[in-house]
Copies of this chain bind each other. A is one copy, B any other.
Amino acid sequence: MRFLHTADWHIGKKLHDFSLAEDQTAAFDQIERLAKDYQVDAVVIAGDLYDRGLASEQAVEQLNGMLKQLNLNDHLPLLAISGNHDSAARLATGSEWFETTDFYLHTTLASAFEPVTIMDTQFFLLPFFNLQAVRNYFEQDVKTISQAMTLIVDQMKQLFDPDKKHVLVAHFFAAGSTHTDSEIQVEVGGLDAVPTTLLKDFDYVALGHLHNPRALNEERMRYSGSPLKFSVSEANLQKGVWIVDTNPFKLTWAPLQPKHDLIILEGSFDELTQGKIAAQYDQTQDYVAIRLTDTKLISDLMNRLRARYPKIVEIKRPNQQDDASIATMTMASHDPLMLLDEFYEKVHPDQQLDDQQRQWASAALTKVEEEEN
C-alpha cells in the first residue's frame, strides 16, 4: 500500500499575531492534491492537529472542514493521533463515529494496542503520552520515556500479524534528532528522548513533534515536519510530506510551496529601507525576520520597517551588544532552555552552555515540570 505521512498542522497557530489560517488552508489544499495525485490508500497525521488544547471556534471549523474533506468527500482513510499540543479529550469528540468511514483517531494509550489494518499494513497509532499514563496502564513504575517505550513496543509486537507490514505512528522526540525553535515542549518535557533502536522492528515509523523533516535520517523512521514554517529557525527548511510505499518499501519526498514564505532579511537600516533589499522586497506579503546590522540607536524602528515589510515577525541586531532598546520578540517563545542560553551568552559573551551544562539544566527543568504535573 501507499500512504501520505504528514504531522504538526498546528491549526489555529499565529506567527507573532499574524493568523496563519490562509497559509494553512493553502498547504492543506496541496496535501489533498498530493494525496490524489499519488493515489495514496491512506493519510497519516502524526499529532498536533491543533496548536492549542483550547482551539478557537475558527480553528475548530477549519480543522473539521479539512478532516471532512479528506475522509468524507475524498473517501481517504485517515490515521491520526493526538500530539502534545492537542487536548486529547476534546480532540476525541466524535472519534467512535469516525471509524465508520475509516477515520481512525487515537487519543488514549490503550488505543495504541488496537492496530488498524489497511491492505498489507498494520498501523499502531500511539498518541502523545505522559509517564503517568504508562504507569497507570501497565500498573508498574516507569521512570523514563525509554522504559515506557520498551513496554509499549513489546506489547505492540505481541499483536504483530506476521503476514503484514507494521507501521508505528507516534508523536515524541526520537534520539539523535536536531530540532527547531517552535517545538517548545520538546526540550522541556521530552528531553528524555526515545532511542531509535527501540523502534527497529517496525517497517516504518511515522513521527510527529519536530518540525524539521530532516531531524531524523534513519531510512525507516522519519519526521514529516510541519506543512508550514512556524518559527524563524525554520526559515531555511523545505516543507513537505512523505509518500511511503510499504511493499517494496520506498520513501518519496513531496515538497509544499508556502502561500507566504518566512524569510530572513539582513542588512543596515538604510539598505533595508532604501537599498536593493528594499527594492526587491518592498511590501512583500512574506513573513519577515529582520537582522539589522547597525549598532546605532534608530528611532521608531519597528514602524519604519513595517512601512516596507508589513509582516515582520522578528527583529534581531546581531552587532548590538545591548539590544534592550528594541523588542527582539524572542521572549515570546518562552522556551526556558533557549532563555537560559541567551542569558548565559549575555553573562559570558565568549562562551555558550556546554553539553553537560545543558543536560543538567534540562534535567532540572524536566523535574520541575513533572512536579508541576
Chain A residues within 8 Å of B, Cβ to Cβ: 53-54, 57-58, 60-61, 64, 68, 72, 87, 89-90, 92-98, 100-101, 103
Tell me if B87 and A94 are in contact (CB < 8 A): no
Tell me if B54 and A93 are in contact (CB < 8 A): no
| A107 → chain B closest CB, angstroms | 11
Tell me if B94 and A101 are in contact (CB < 8 A): no
How many copies make up the complex? 2
Measured between beta carbons, the chain B residues less than 8 angstroms from A97 are 72, 94, 97-98, 100-101, 103
Instruction: Select from chain B the residue with minimum beta-carbon distance to A63.
Output: B93
Instruction: Select from chain B the residue with minimum beta-carbon distance to A90.
Output: B60
5 nearest CB pairs, A to B: A94-B94, A57-B89, A97-B97, A100-B100, A93-B93
Measured between beta carbons, the chain B residues less than 8 angstroms from A64 are 92-94
Tell me if A68 and B89 are in contact (CB < 8 A): no
Instruction: Select from chain B the residue with minimum beta-carbon distance to A58.
Output: B89
| A102 → chain B closest CB, angstroms | 11
Given the complex of chains A and B, what is the CA–CA distance between A268 and B80 in angstroms? Answer: 61
Most buried by B among A57, A58, A60, A97: A97
Given the complex of chains A and B, what is the CA–CA distance between A60 and B60 in angstroms? Answer: 14
Tell me if B94 and A93 are in contact (CB < 8 A): yes
Tell me if A57 and B90 are in contact (CB < 8 A): yes
For this complex, 14 residue pairs linking A to B, each with C-beta atoms less than 8 Å apart, are A53-B57, A57-B87, A57-B90, A60-B93, A61-B89, A61-B92, A68-B96, A72-B96, A72-B97, A94-B94, A94-B98, A97-B97, A97-B98, A97-B101
Measured between beta carbons, the chain B residues less than 8 angstroms from A101 are 97, 100
Measured between beta carbons, the chain B residues less than 8 angstroms from A58 are 89
Measured between beta carbons, the chain B residues less than 8 angstroms from A87 are 57
Given the complex of chains A and B, what is the CA–CA distance between A80 and B96 in angstroms? Answer: 18
Measured between beta carbons, the chain B residues less than 8 angstroms from A57 are 53, 87, 89-90
Measured between beta carbons, the chain B residues less than 8 angstroms from A72 are 96-97
| A95 → chain B closest CB, angstroms | 8
